[in-house]
Amino acid sequence: MKNAQQLFVISAPSGAGKTTLVKSLISRNSKIKYSISYTTRAPRKNEVHGRDYFFITNEEFNRLKSNNEFIEYAKVFGNYYATSKKQIETILNDDCNAILEIDWQGAMQVRKSIPACTSIFIMPPSKEALHERLTNRGTDSRGTIKQRINESEEDMSHWSEFNYCIINDNLELASNELELIFSAANKLNCTKNPKLIKKINKILCS
């Protein structure tokens, strides 16, 4: 594939559907591999250590950080998240594309360290849809859902910092658009698509 051995960074507000989109993309292309993040938060229901995240203690996080083993890290909702340098190197050395599914803070760090990476932001179709998705997935408390909704405003304000932006209002369409980005479809570049920018501004102002 044209983009072999490239690093892709995908960010979104919680509940926008980025994890579902990434899993769908990986299931359709064996040359794309997901870099599993480290986190100090507790596992959610059905999450598995080493599959969804590497769940570690604060002490272990600080040890790995001190050893300079992370390409990026950020504190989100009171917990730390980080990406291993070794994982990225291993994936790229296997002649595969690497995907990082991280928040905008981590994405900013990665862009500074690796300017050649391709960054993608996933936008929900509306703030109301985001609230509904967070509520219906049943993995968080009411307090956590409220916090995530409040934080989503800040998250979405950074969309224009990314190379591409996808509005996830239709899962199949969004999945196809994500796959096109991995094939270098420039028409989705958020700096070159006035119609996309207009839609995003409407979401942010709603």
Domains of the chain with CATH codes? 7-35+96-204 (3.40.50.300)
Contact between 122 and 166 under an 8 Å Cβ cutoff? The reply is yes
Nearest to 11 by CA among 151, 120, 94, 99: 120
**DSSP category for residue 160:** G
> CA-to-CA distance for 172 and 52, rounded, in angstroms?
23
Q: Within 13 Å and on the Cβ side, how many CA atoms surround 44?
A: 9
- Three-state SS string across 48-114, please? CECCCEEECCHHHHHHHHHCCCEEEEEEECCEEEEEEHHHHHHHHHCCCEEEEECCHHHHHHHHHHC
> CA-to-CA distance for 204 and 182, rounded, in angstroms?
26
Residues of the chain under the 70 pLDDT cut: 1-4, 138-139, 184-194, 196-197, 204, 206
Q: Which two tokens stand for residue 52?
A: 């969804």
Q: Which residues contact 173 (CB under 8 A, 6 or more apart)?
A: none
Give residue 100's pLDDT.
Answer: 93
| pLDDT tens-digit readout, 59-92 | 999 999 999 999 999 888 889 999 999 999 999 9
> CA-to-CA distance for 155 and 148, rounded, in angstroms?
10
